[in-house]
Amino acid sequence: MTDSPPNISARVAALFACHFFGFGLFLPFFPVLLEFRSLTAEEIGFILGAGTIARIAASPILSNLADRRGNRRLSILVYSLIGAAFIALFAAPGGLFVIGVSVIGYMVIKAPVLPLSDAYALDAARNTGADYARMRLWGSAGFVAATLIGGAVATEQQSWILLVLIALAAVATGGVVMMLPRQQRESKTDTVPEDGSDTPFRALWFWPVLTLLGLFQASHAAFYGFGTLYWQANDVADFTIGVLWAIGVIAEIALFIVAGKLALRFDPPVFLLVAGVAAIVRWSLFPFADSFISMALLQTLHGLTFGASHLGAVAILAKVVPSRWSGTGQGLLATSIGIQMALGLSVSGTLYAMDPDMPFYLMAAISAVGVVIMIALTPMVRKHMAESQAD
């Protein structure tokens, strides 16, 4: 990888933007497309639930397969093109089985694209000095653009436009990744253990740390699942709700802009501790925010609760997992987040039915537990990061 930082940064940023543009269309609007195909709520729930479980399981497996092949760019290209094919299958005539295969297939085959993109971007940051956070922020920007465009065309008459855009985003992701330079680890002269014996995956300490890294992201479960419903129940206008969501993403982007400078002063565990403290404040006060100003102020904490926890987590894995296996490491992180997020959504649903405030208090309590555990594990995490960098 010999490209200068500005050159490679722009292309990695485009990779994130293309991937998240497709994700920003699929996540909020594909249930609507399923409804347009006359599926019942139970059928939609089953397909998306099965796809989520399959995606969680597939992420580390397909990421590891890419690591073993030693060429993440080609893997991202293949996965992206197959994803576009599954979207094309959805447009074909067919019943529940065909629809289920297309949706679940798309969710599974796209699962490793983000972990592999993160792994590539982190390698680029390590090898060229490019700023990972500034590359990653374009993913957030792509997601916002997709939600705005998707909201404008999410009608039964224009549903085909959503399908075309999702498929084009997948193809564009594959096209952009092949414009990136080969990574140093892809060289045939690299000599690394083929059995992964140089990774921490077999070490006992790695798994509680991985669980903790996923926990900070999973603390958003109540908000992702019921935040909009909570605001609607409190007579917040739909347009205002959209603005509040946008404020959160803008705060996230703002952190990514300055994160590179912050990383020069603070190490990854500090990012996670700050994220955990911000989550305690955000979720504890969420039920008490009864004006737009108070809601907006809490939404700005998304830059810390999501952004800082993401940056801290990927940075820790980048330091303790060898570059050759970093795709697998990021895939395991995605699985950790997915499992805990699913559990959080399930519990939050039960609590929301009892008292709409309770899920947010639970997220605050979980965040507090995470902060305490992070404080306890920080010396060990720093020790293993230092040992890995010294090898």
pLDDT value of residue 187: 44
Contact 322, 192 (CB under 8 A): yes
CATH class given for the domain over 206-390: mainly alpha
Contacts of 237 (CB under 8 A, 6+ apart): none
350, 353, 358, 359: CA torsion to nearest 10: 50
DSSP letters of 319-373? HHS-GGGHHHHHHHHHHHHHHHHHHHHHHHHHHHHH-TTHHHHHHHHHHHHHHHH
- With bands split at pLDDT 50, 70 and 90, how would you rate the model's confidence at 193? low
Q: What is the pTM of this model?
A: 0.86
How far is Cα of residue 365 from the mean position of the Cα atoms in its chain? 23
Instruction: Classify domain 5-184 by CATH architecture.
Output: Up-down Bundle (1.20)
| Phi, psi values for residue 205, rounded to 5° | -65, -25
What was the pLDDT predicted at 15? 97
Could you tell me where the DSSP H helices lie in the chain?
5-36, 41-69, 72-91, 96-110, 113-128, 132-153, 159-177, 206-218, 221-233, 238-263, 268-285, 292-300, 302, 309-320, 326-354, 358-390
Three-state secondary structure call for residue 202: coil
How many Å is the maximal CA-CA distance in the chain?
63
What is the tens place of the pLDDT at every residue in 124-135?
Answer: 988 888 999 999
pLDDT tens string 236-270: 887 888 889 889 999 999 999 999 889 888 899 99
* Structural Rg of the chain based on CA atoms: 20
Please check the confidence at residue 57 and state whether its pLDDT lies above 70: yes
Domain with CATH 1.20.1250.20 in the chain: 5-184, 206-390
Report pLDDT for 48.
Answer: 86
Residue 188, pLDDT score: 44
Q: Is the pLDDT of residue 189 over 60?
A: no
Average pLDDT over the chain reads 89
Query: SS3 of 233, please?
Result: helix
Residue 150 has pLDDT above 70, yes or no: yes
Q: Residue 189's CB: how many other CB atoms inside 10 A?
A: 5
Mean pLDDT of 365-373: 97
Average pLDDT over residues 149-165: 85
